[in-house]
Chain A
């Protein structure tokens, strides 16, 4: 997923997602964010940084979508937003990891925009949708989904996993993905739908299409 192994992937056996229960991890990082919000706790911020900054950098470098210098800039921007937005985080409504992922995703889109990819002066937050978690079961379903998704991820055929990685980690549209892989757009679309079905992302999924 990260093709910059040369940058130095570090061995952190304890952070292997497969061995640590998602619930406990979520709890730990959520507590950090709450302490940042309530006490401007720099120690909690340092702890949060040491875990998430390397993941944000990995996200930034996925598919070489950003240079190493821009990746570092992105890490700084995202962590500053974590500090700034911590008060808006509600641990009952979302996992801290999902919260920081959406910040990283928005910051990267804004950086793509600044770096040439788009012309319109708009920020990702202008056109995005901030889930309030107002539906009572939403966070529960989403986090339960994440546990199940991890179990199913390893069985996903390589061609589907590769496309999901391009779409999520590299931030590529379906048509960019199709062009890069030399596949028809329709094939990319149907592989994405198959992957979503296999991962049972939609828990109480009614109709898929």
Chain B
């Protein structure tokens, strides 16, 4: 049972396709878990479609239709070419959506923490998977930007509550927390950070460069 969802603003930006790519991946992965948000997305898309339908039509040059007709038969070939050009990020996103997390490159950071840096992507200072061993935790940190987290497996708790698979958590800049994996299994989270994390405890400062894998 999913208890934490993206807010209306985030889901609407997703529905209108104006959410940056990294945040969109987190939202769309949440949608795989959450039928309530799928319903809400359908309603928000339907609102977009209503506005689209009610737009004042703009004249089309008749030659445009002829151009399209002439190209109808070449469509299949284009699609094959696109597949061949699929980028690394496109592949990475597919692995996340399919749950093939072992395919990704993991780095051990502490005894109980492993991180897979997912690479450069629009809208993110950092886009990563976190694997926290049962009972392990991520050092206390605050954010200089908004962080969106989705629990993929297991669960974690922090100062504000407990979260389980499918839960979508937003932390605003300035929130401080130290997530700890819940008992019962390892916890895997997908997280996107708008701008770099800063650790608040001096003895964890050495971790910052590792965690700020993509600090700009």
Report A's interface with B, CB cutoff 8 A: 1-2, 4-5, 7-10, 12, 15, 17, 25, 42, 45-46, 49-50, 53-55, 57-59, 61-62, 71-72, 75-76, 79-80, 83-84, 95, 97-98, 101-102, 104-106, 108-109, 118-124, 126-129, 131, 133, 135, 137-139, 141-143, 145-146, 149-150, 153, 164-165, 167-169, 171-174, 176, 189, 192-193, 196, 199, 201-203, 206, 208-209
Report B's interface with A, CB cutoff 8 A: 7-9, 12-14, 16-21, 24-25, 27-28, 31-32, 35-36, 38-61, 64-65, 67-69, 71-72, 75-76, 79, 82, 87-90, 93-94, 120-122
Neighbouring B residues of A1 by C-beta, 8 Å: 51, 54-56
Neighbouring B residues of A80 by C-beta, 8 Å: 68, 71-72, 75
Partner among A5, A129, A168 whose Cβ is within 8 Å of the Cβ of B48: A168
Which secondary structure dominates where chain B touches chain A?
A: helix
Which secondary structure dominates where chain A touches chain B?
A: helix
Asked if A98 and B49 make an inter-chain contact with CB atoms under 8 angstroms apart, the answer reads yes
Most buried by A among B25, B27, B65: B65
Asked if A189 and B9 make an inter-chain contact with CB atoms under 8 angstroms apart, the answer reads yes
Asked if B21 and A76 make an inter-chain contact with CB atoms under 8 angstroms apart, the answer reads no
Asked if A149 and B9 make an inter-chain contact with CB atoms under 8 angstroms apart, the answer reads no
* Tally of A-B Cβ pairs under 8 angstroms: 226
Asked if A201 and B43 make an inter-chain contact with CB atoms under 8 angstroms apart, the answer reads yes
Partner among B44, B51, B94, B122 whose Cβ is within 8 Å of the Cβ of A120: B122
CB nearest to A25 among chain B residues: B53
Told that A57-B57, A129-B38 touch, could you supply 10 new A-B pairs with CB distance under 8 A?
A5-B56, A45-B72, A50-B65, A72-B60, A76-B67, A101-B52, A122-B21, A123-B82, A165-B51, A192-B12
Asked if A76 and B71 make an inter-chain contact with CB atoms under 8 angstroms apart, the answer reads yes
